[in-house]
Each structure stands twice: as structure tokens, then as C-alpha cells.
Amino acid sequence: MNEGAHDRHDIEAFVTRVMSHADELYRDFTWRTTTDPYAIWLSEVMLQQTQVVRVISYFDRWMRRFPTVDALASASTSDVLESWQGLGYNRRALMLKRAAEIISTHYDGIFPDTYAELVTLPGIGPATAAGILAFAFNTPAPYLETNVRTVVLHELFPDETDVSDRDVRLIVEQASEASAEAGIDPRRWNYALLDYGAWLKKTFSNPSRRSKHHTRQSTFEGSRRQKRAALLRLVLDTPGLSADAYADLSGYDPEIVADILADLTTERFLRNIDDRYQVD
């Protein structure tokens, strides 16, 4: 057995330890009271790189404004981006909109329920697809995200450094199978992983730092990412101006503004009509 490998007994013991904390650490969120795949998908996307406390209010407001995948598909891009403001990483909102259009058009508004179909949709990668399968359809799926990684590293790699995601994913896959064989439904198993991981992060030094996958997030203040978000906000608030006008309003260098607006146009956040920018 290679160093760091774990046998069946280790995996079964891991499942038992995680489940021993399930009731005590369970967190009650709005998106956990539904099996609507649209709502589950939205929560999974919002929770990417965003603190839970911020997502709670945004999730409820979004669901009131766009209650179904068809409602999101038929909404204007400007309304979607407006509702997303404050969550950051605006590309996520654009991918939500594009995927909703595909689901509404090609699936008659019925959310696909297989991994193969889900990962073909814009913005849905392996973790998001697994989350949808587990939480909406109660289907076993190897769900690997930051809290889950934290649990695996803390419990099964306590003395190792530079643990690869390949090793972590193997544990997640084996534990998913073992938990299902033990009669634990996938929804409950993955909530237990998430809640235990969130507790560990508050209680111990972040064990995810031992992962090769872990990277420190770059500073937002003064970054190009901040400027992108600010310029998109300006276009939403005051559409139809030129790049020079947005440079004046923002106080940013005109060349940087022109470059960012060009990128946002290429990425289909904006439209450029006669050198005037607007959101669809």
C-alpha cells in the first residue's frame, strides 16, 4: 500500500466519525429545505468563493425575483447582473443565465438529472454537478469542495503535506460508496461533510493549507477584478456611455477602462453599440 493510502476499514471508520457529528453540527439553510434542483443549483453557485452569511439574503431575494429556471431564462441579462451585484465574480451570474436558457429551451424547463448532462451546461463543473445530484436528486456522487477537502485532510492526512486532489478525490469517492452501502442517504452524508468541514475551519488552523490545491486568494482591493466589478456596476447604473466617460466616472486610467470594457464585451457581459456600452 502506498504512503497515504487507506483501506476499506479506514474509509468505513471515516464515515462513522463524520456521521457522529451530523446532528450536532447541522446548519439549517433555506436551500436545505427544498429538493428543487434549480434552487440547489443556485445555492451551489452562490456559495462558490462567497461566505454563507452573505449568500443567505441574496438567495432569498433571487428566488423571489427569479423563482424558476424558466423565469431566469426569460429575464434580461441586466436584471440578472443587477440582482447579483455584491456577490462578486459576476461571471457566475452570466453562466447561470446561459445555463437556464439551455435548460428552458432544450429540456423544457426540466432540470437534467445525470452527471453527463449536467457538466455540459455552462458554469457547471464536477463539484456543482455532484452537489445537484446529491442534494436535489439524493443520488450518490463524489462531492469535493473546500469544506469536504478540509474534512478529508483533517481526518485522514493529519501528518502529510502537499496532498494532491487526486488522493482527496479518491477518498471522497470511496466514502460516498461506503456511506451509501451503510444506508446513509447522499443528501444527509454530504450535508454532514459540509457542516463538519465548516466547524473544523472555525476550530483548527485550516487543514486545506496542506493540500496542493490550496491557494491563497489574491487581494481584491485595487485589483483588476475590483475594477471589472466597479465598471460593470457603472454600466448597469448609467448605460450608454463611452469608455472615456466611464473612465471619468470611475477615476481609472482610460487605457485600463477601455481594455476592461473590451474584455467584458468579448465575454458577453456588455454590448458595444457605436462605442457606447450597455448590458443586454
Q: Which three cell numbers stand for residue 252?
A: 481609472
- Residue 239's H or E segment, with its range, is none
Q: At what angle do helices 186-203 and 146-156 cross, to 10 degrees?
A: 70
Q: Which residue has the cell 444527509?
A: 188
Residues 6 or more apart in contact with residue 106 via CB below 8 angstroms: none
Specify the DSSP element, H or E, that contains 3.
none
Give yes or no: 155 in active site. no
Write the CB contacts of 210 (distance below 8 Å, at least 6 apart in sequence): 153, 157, 160, 161, 162, 163
Q: Which candidate in 44, 145, 155, 160 is catalytic?
A: 44
Residue 15 φ/ψ region, left for φ over 0, alpha for ψ in the -120 to 50 degree band, beta for the rest: alpha
Rounded Cα distance, 13 and 258, in Å: 57
Alpha-helical regions (H) of 47-185: 52-65, 69-74, 77-84, 91-106, 115-118, 126-137, 146-156, 165-181
Catalytic residues: 44
